[in-house]
Amino acid sequence: MKPSIAITLGAGVFVVMLGAYIVSYATTVREPVEWKSGDVIVQDSKAAELLPLFAADGSGMTHIGVVEVSPEGAVVIEAAERVVATPIRTFLARGKDEAFAVYRVGSLSDDQRKAVAAAARRQLGKPNDFFLQKSWDALYSSELVRLAYSDIGVDVGEMKRLGKVAGDLSVVKSHFMRNWAANVDCGKRRFDKNQCWTMATKQEVVTPASIANDARMTKIYASEARTSGFTLSRAAEKKAETPAP
């Protein structure tokens, strides 16, 4: 084969291979970040309908979960109706206008990150804690994240009395009053609905926003809502002044 023909054929093969690569790259679904186990994702989701307290703080952060990375792909371990492992794309698509933000504790080792995800995975199947009670028999989203991090000795977020989380709790109270009779603790104490609400306002809760605000958390990504341009950044603009462990 003459050198000129060989060069021409070689160039043609290269162009074909390059074109195939460009098409493949353009059509591949790329992740917004390089996920690491132990990352936390916050979004404004339909969870606000079940747990309106997290909408009342005004942060736009109503739901949070823990990332777990495996050879099969990344999932978010979250407290939905039950604690489940949700494919990450499914989780992200559920957020209001698909806006979300990702936070990471940068000082952790790979083993610590895996331990956080493993601690979250051990909670799979537990029911959602509608009443935000201080019990690990049932879990709400930010409680699951706090529990997972406590496994490595890091208490993320701030525990605050429910009655102090937001100035206007009227929607929260209305929602609570419609369901108060299912509160087991109130039933044991034979409380009426007003006594039950008073007790609830005194219990301590941890919100998704307080975890995002934790000084050890670094925001590594925030997407913009497709329609409104809203980003989940308002709460993160005021970092908590909690010292690192």
What CATH number is attached to the domain comprising 125? Answer: 3.90.1720.10
pLDDT confidence of residue 41? 96
CB distance 140 to 129 below 8 Å: yes
- Count of structural domains within the chain: 2
Least confident range of 19-33, 118-132, 169-183, 195-209: 19-33
What 3-state class would DSSP assign to 37? coil
Q: Is the pLDDT of residue 50 over 70?
A: no
Q: Which residues of 53-80 are buried (b: 16+ CB within 10 A; e: fewer)?
A: bbbbbebbbbbbbbbbbeeeebbbbbbb
Token digits of residue 155:
């208490």
pLDDT confidence of residue 227? 53
Whether 19 and 110 share a structural domain: no
The reported pTM is 0.80
pLDDT tens profile 77-103: 999 989 999 999 999 988 888 889 999
pLDDT confidence of residue 98? 81
Give the number of other Cβ atoms within 10 Å of residue 162's Cβ: 22
Whether 22 and 86 share a structural domain: no
Whether 9 and 67 share a structural domain: no
Whether 175 and 66 share a structural domain: yes
Give the number of other Cβ atoms within 10 Å of residue 204's Cβ: 13
Whether 187 and 216 share a structural domain: yes
Give the single-character DSSP code of 17: H
CB distance 180 to 186 below 8 Å: yes
Whether 92 and 185 share a structural domain: yes
Whether 110 and 221 share a structural domain: yes
- Tell me the average pLDDT across 163-182: 92
Find the domain containing 3 and state its range.
Answer: 1-30
Residue 243 lies in a domain: no
pLDDT confidence of residue 134? 82
Query: Which pLDDT band holds residue 239 (cuts at 50, 70, 90)?
Result: very low
Gap between the Cα atoms of 201 and 180, Å rounded:
13
Residue 195 lies in a domain: yes
Query: Which pLDDT band holds residue 12 (cuts at 50, 70, 90)?
Result: low
